[in-house]
Structure 1
Amino acid sequence: MSAQRVGAAADLPPGKVVGVGRYAVGNADGRYFAVTRRCRHLGADLAAGSIDDNGCLVCPWHRSAYDVATGRMVNGPQGTFAKVPGLDFGYRMLTRVLPLGRAPVTERDGELYIGG
């Protein structure tokens, strides 16, 4: 995979998430990450998500939370969906087998890149 430019590191402060191609790229307390953009629940764009106090990427639609290091869902859909028995467990198990895709983010000369 050839490197894909994200932008200036200064434009991605802690807590920010942006969309770059097929990835949601963010800064979780100084750790850059890139994960595939679609939530495993209903396909929401995770680039519109937020980063919680645990450094997890939170879906903007139903607040599922993902560990950005593994791509696994650590907290399933919330709100109305939280009332569906087994839904949280089911999605967390699904992401053990089918986690979000991940790619390395590197910084060179103040610029961030996904991959190589």
Structure 2
Amino acid sequence: MSQKISTTDLPDGAVIGVGKYAVGNAGGEYFAVSRKCRHLRADLADGSIDDDGCLVCPWHGAKYDVATGHMVLGPQGVFAKIPGLDAAVEALTRLWPLRRGRLEQRGDDLYLS
């Protein structure tokens, strides 16, 4: 069963939660990825889109490529100071990237399945 989202609810830079997915608009490109950060399971629907079009975790600043689901920058802040943690979490996402949902656009509506 697919879920309908209006593109008017997703202006450029917006991220919302839709079921198990964080759905967003990165520079006019809509995406859907699983909602839980691979680091400490923060809700990525509360995240933001940076200037590179990456989804940024609201808790510790990890960045995800929304096209692949891979982490491109590990946790920041206090967690960035723990030797090896950044590299270990990034390596984990190569094996276990965020799931990507399929979005289909029809007019001003997106359908997530």
Query: Which bracket does the TM-score occupy, shorter chain normalised?
Result: over 0.9
Question: Does 1:28 find its partner at 2:26?
Answer: yes
* 1:44-83 equivalences in 2 (<5 Å): 44-83=42-81
* Number of corresponding residues: 113
Superposed CA RMSD = 0.8
* 1:1-116 equivalences in 2 (<5 Å): 2-6=1-5, 8-115=6-113
CA deviations over 1:45-88 (Å, ceiling 9, x no partner): 00000000100000000000000001000000000000000111
Cα displacement (A) at 1:109 = 2.8
Gaps of 5+ in 2: none
Give me the whole-angstrom Cα distance separating, in 2, the residues matched to 1:32 and 1:39.
19
The 4+ residue runs of structure 1 with deviation greater than 3 A are: none
Gaps of 5+ in 1: none
TM-score by length of 2: 0.97
Give me the whole-angstrom Cα distance separating, in 1, the residues matched to 2:107 and 2:62.
34
TM-score by length of 1: 0.94
Q: In percent, how many aligned pairs have the same letter?
A: 62
SS of the residue 2:93 aligns to: helix
